[in-house]
Structure 1
Amino acid sequence: MEWDYERKKEKEVEIQESIECHLREVGIEEAQIQITAREFFEKAIQVTPPEKEQVYMHLVTLAPSGRGGGRSSKLGNIRLNVRTLFEAVSNSVFTVISATQAPWAIPFAAILLWNSIWRNTQIDLSEAEAVTLWVMWQIKDSNKNVKSEDLKPAIDNHARKYERQTLSEADIKHALKKLNEIGCIKAAKSASNTWWLCEWISPSYR
């Protein structure tokens, strides 16, 4: 088995460029983008190489049953650790992003990245989704569960802290629907009116 490290590097560059694009989209200053994108990548993303495709030229004879068929090459994996990323933002470990920017810019970039690379869907995302996801990670319990009834008070507190406009109940409901659609959250199986936060997303690539 031989691993395709060249393809791994190509995928890392692709993700890095996508992070830079999303940071630019959420208003990070140009001079800060490359540094922040690199720290984002280093803190929360892991890329493993796919197996190199082997090319064979030979005569193939199949038994009538089809037994003994070929084998599939292993795909590479991309892993995004949302918990690690949000903890890094909470602890202000990013070099050039201020404490007042980080709770908005980084989570927004994270869900844009999630949506464009991992989900590959066309869902418009707004600051409301970023705020809602950010607050959910702040108030989750030990099982990464958040009760729906706890969200509005927590979002109101967050808005006051950062001098932002708060969200209405309808805004929050819509944000939860969007976050569920792109796979950031799931309805908890163990409790009603409760959301479970997805810590990892791990798609494959060739």
Structure 2
Amino acid sequence: MTETDYLAAVRESYDTVAATYAQRVPEPAALDPLSRGMLAVFAESVRRAGTGPVADVGCGPGKVTAHLAASGVDAFGVDLSSRMLSLARRAHPHLRFVQGSMTALGIGGGAVGGILAWYSTHHTPPAHLPAVFAEFHRVLAPGGHLLWGCYTGDEHLRPVQGYGHPVSYESYLSPAERVAELLGRAGLVVTATLEQEPQGRLTRRHACLLARKP
């Protein structure tokens, strides 16, 4: 699948599901304690580093962007879906949300002190992940931090429905160690890894990786 094909599928699918997604996805305060803890560690890390704002990449309706902002982080959101961005701007008019792709963020080199990729890279075909992580490295300032969180595994999923609507995106689950390896190849140093087994609302194994640009 070409970059143009998969990005178009993600954009169109999330435009379709945006309103239902915003209703169903829980607020960050309702996440499991370990996920909330990793978000808190990330927020403190970028505040202490003081290297610039945080880009919430794949921000959706902006719930986690707003959570970071409430914790004292200068955060803004980036998303492919114009309908997701409309919902985010309506819910959080005091924050900035811009349209962009993970492969071309439209952000200057070294311009951000943090990147949050929270359950947002799994629609990227594995062959394109190195380019995504290279783009993260490019826009991060030296000393900047990345928090990646997602379901993990070794599966290629092709759903026909999402959140009660037809979708055309696909999902690619990778083991946490594979993601860590790719981050390392992109020039980012993984400083912490958290892996959790399915429990409660978590229906699949998932992981959080905290990384830093030297």
Q: TM-score, normalised by structure 1?
A: 0.27
The structure where helix makes up a greater share of residues is 1
